[in-house]
Amino acid sequence: MAAEKARGRAGGNRSAATGAMSPLQHGIVDLHFDLPMHLYEHRHRSDVLRTQFLPELEAGGIGVVVASVFLEARRLPDEALRVALDQIARLYHEVERCDRFAICRSYPEIERARAAGRIALVIGLEGAEPLGSDPDLLRVFYELGLRVLGLTHARRNAAATGAVFARSGSPPDGLSDFGRDLVHECERLGILLDLSHINPAGFDEILELTSQPPVVSHGNARRFYDIERNLSDEQITSIAQRGGVIGINSVVVSSRKDEATIDRYIDHIEHVASLAGIDSVAIGFDFFEFVYRGWSAAERSDFHRKFSSVHFIPDLANHAHVPNLTQRLIERGFSDAQIEKIYSGNALRILGHLLSAGAKSG
């Protein structure tokens, strides 16, 4: 029934904002990938982007990636700014060594990159820790290419409080004064605000403060996995009412390992579409099993202690596995037009709206 309702609410095949290229000519859009962290951690190696990630991205038909800077807890607070800058520097270094990628600062640059056959990378920041409590640093990161900002991960910082990986438990606080300053500065500069990981109070406050279409780059429905980290039906509906999108996440689909499947992933897609319409569904895989594989036993144990609810989908563990998802979407009755919207059209609509203009004066 949910699938029928979702498909019944799908409209026509809307193209990207500029109309220059159809969505799938742009390739699939992944709204969240912790790529810079991995490049930084493996900075002793050469051509990591070209040798490790390019084959997987090409196999999956990926055209646009939000490459998110992320700081592990061991980097906080003293190393946050330095390591964030080093991650961005490493991303630029790797792109300079592989002409199949382009770092893009605007939607027209994304279009030009795709027209040239390059994978477009948009720099994001997951957690405002590198900014300390200085909103002026956001402009510095903007000049380095930052175009997507999530105020927090699953922790508290000077800007906001993260949602917990449990049914409840985060403090009832919303944003700090610093967090509100960042929201206003994002609006001024033209930085996309990412509501992933924010606690419920912070979520509501951001919607009150901003006129942007809300974006959750990588999140799922509490209907199938009832943790605060995921989205309630009310939150999903509020995102749709504002013309926003939700990128469906591949690592928080179920509390049970045996239910971490492509079918459960699609259940989240169908539920969001049934509440919000197909135009609100996007992709934010959040693949990081490749990072997990490189950890020591102690690091893995610590991870599971903090995030016992995270389970990888075996046949959707990296971008090369995306054809498995495509096949199952087709088998479950999604049309080509609907898959196109989920994979690229909806995300491109938002990117086209928010990244078409440069920084505003004032």
What does the pLDDT look like over 264-300, one tens digit per residue? 999 999 999 999 999 999 999 999 877 777 777 887 7
Q: Is 260 helix (H, G, I), strand (E, B) or coil?
A: coil
d(CA 351, CA 84): 23
pLDDT for res 46: 85
pLDDT for res 357: 60
Q: Cα-flanking dihedrals φ and ψ of residue 148, to 5°?
A: -135, 130
pLDDT for res 297: 82
| Beta-bridge partners for 281 | 246
DSSP 119-154: EEEEEEEESSGGGTT-THHHHHHHHTTEEEEES-SS
d(CA 121, CA 358): 17
CATH 3.20.20.70 given to domain 2-10+27-354: no
Average pLDDT over residues 36-53: 94
What are 332-341's pLDDT values in tens digits? 999 999 999 9
pLDDT for res 356: 86
Q: Check: CB of residue 158 under 8 Å from CB of residue 128.
A: yes
Average pLDDT over residues 224-245: 97
Q: Is 101 helix (H, G, I), strand (E, B) or coil?
A: strand
Across all residues in the chain, what is the average pLDDT? 90
Q: Which two tokens stand for residue 43?
A: 């900075």
